[in-house]
């Protein structure tokens, strides 16, 4: 019996515990952001690990693993042509299951060698999700409970006017100094000139309510799993905090999540019979154009 089974289960521990294990030798770092958005609706991520050799982890993956708080698991090649990262990933997955540290697994790979690992995890009662590319074979797709196909992002060119415009108006470092009259005033008097009073705050200083695009993407992702296409505000807020622990409507100038959702043209909020609120994609909840997606991303 593991030590964790003797400990009392708190409210946070009662929800599903997710382990995200990434085959870094077989994919690119851009997949991490998409993966964490996907698994956030399945439970609390308790394990984040990336597996690869020195050439992989020391170059392309270093910044991504550090930024997303993943533990790098470096595996040296003991012989030419031998990949020890796959063995380490499989052993850590089974160990996390037997130690009762995780009951839901998300493997980020397109390698069919992990199909047998998926079957063994499911035989033991675990839920297995796979995030892979279009090249993933059917043997890997069918071995999981749910497969999520990830496509490499297409670079979007930012318009020169938008790139050159500053995000906030420039504010001078200090208020201007009232210049003394030239006639009858020496340099010493001019040096002691009193600064001019600061102008009263204008309307531009008011808080701007911003609408990050990730909220629309979260509603679209969660609504796809519901028959009516509606999402409750409670699970939506929990999902947004899982994807970004620093998320808060107040950061974007809103008093709360409901006030924030009401500002979106693509979303429609509705109060149900029981008094609770739901949100769904509105008539404008279609995929944004490239230019609009860039503008909203810059507003985050």
**pLDDT tens readout for residues 66-111:** 999 999 998 887 766 667 889 999 999 999 999 999 999 999 999 9
Task: Give domain status of residue 91, yes or no.
Answer: yes
pTM of the model: 0.62
Tell me what the mean pLDDT of segment 136-155 comes to. 87
Structural domain of residue 74, as residue ranges? 15-149
Predicted local distance difference test score (pLDDT) of residue 96:
96
135 lies in the same domain as 217? no
Domain count, the chain: 2
CATH number of the structural domain spanning residue 271: 3.30.420.610
Task: Give domain status of residue 119, yes or no.
Answer: yes
CATH number of the structural domain spanning residue 139: 3.40.50.1010
Task: Give domain status of residue 130, yes or no.
Answer: yes
Nearest Cα residue to 47 out of 85, 8, 10, 100? 100
Tell me what the mean pLDDT of segment 234-263 comes to. 88
Q: Which helix (H) or strand (E) covers residue 23, if one does?
A: strand 17-23
114 lies in the same domain as 228? no
pLDDT, tens digit, 9 for 90 and up, residues 26-79 = 899 999 999 999 998 899 999 999 999 888 888 889 999 999 999 999 888 776
136 lies in the same domain as 232? no
Retrieve residue 226's tokens: 């519901």
**Of the listed ranges 99-113, 151-165, 214-228, 271-285, the one predicted with least confidence:** 151-165
Predicted local distance difference test score (pLDDT) of residue 167:
47
123 lies in the same domain as 38? yes
What mean pLDDT value characterizes the chain? Answer: 78
In percent, the amount of the chain with pLDDT more than 70 equals 70
At 195, the pLDDT band (50, 70, 90 cuts) reads: low
Predicted local distance difference test score (pLDDT) of residue 287:
41
Predicted local distance difference test score (pLDDT) of residue 180:
44
pLDDT at position 292 over 50: no
Could you say which of 127, 149, 171 is where a domain stops?
149
144 lies in the same domain as 221? no
């Amino acid at each position: 019996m593991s030590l964790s089974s003797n400990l009392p289960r708190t409210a946070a521990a009662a929800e599903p515990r997710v382990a995200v294990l990434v085959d870094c030798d077989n994919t690119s770092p851009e997949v991490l952001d998409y993966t964490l958005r996907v698994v956030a609706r399945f439970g609390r991520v308790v394990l984040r690990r990336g597996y690869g050799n020195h050439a992989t982890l020391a170059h392309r993956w270093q910044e991504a693993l550090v930024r997303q708080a993943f533990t790098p698991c470096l595996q040296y090649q003991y012989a030419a042509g031998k990949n020890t990262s796959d063995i380490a990933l499989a052993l850590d997955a089974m160990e996390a299951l037997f130690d009762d540290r995780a009951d839901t697994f998300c493997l980020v790979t397109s390698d069919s060698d992990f199909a047998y690992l998926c079957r063994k995890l499911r035989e033991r009662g675990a839920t297995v999700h796979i995030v892979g590319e279009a090249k993933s074979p059917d043997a890997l797709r069918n071995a999981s409970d749910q497969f999520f196909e990830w496509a490499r992002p297409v670079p979007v060119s930012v318009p020169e006017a938008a790139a050159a415009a500053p995000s906030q108006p420039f504010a001078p470092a200090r208020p201007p100094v009232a210049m003394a009259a030239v006639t009858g005033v020496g340099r010493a008097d001019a040096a002691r000139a009193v600064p001019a009073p600061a102008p009263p705050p204008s309307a531009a200083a008011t808080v701007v309510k911003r609408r990050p695009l990730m909220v629309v993407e979260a509603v679209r992702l969660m609504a796809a799993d519901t028959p009516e296409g509606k999402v409750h505000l409670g699970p939506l807020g929990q999902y947004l905090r899982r994807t970004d622990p620093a998320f808060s409507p107040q950061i974007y100038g809103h008093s709360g999540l409901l006030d924030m959702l009401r500002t979106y043209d693509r979303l429609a909020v509705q109060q149900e019979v029981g008094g609770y609120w739901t949100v769904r994609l509105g008539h404008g909840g279609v995929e944004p154009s490239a230019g609009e997606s860039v503008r909203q991303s810059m507003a985050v």
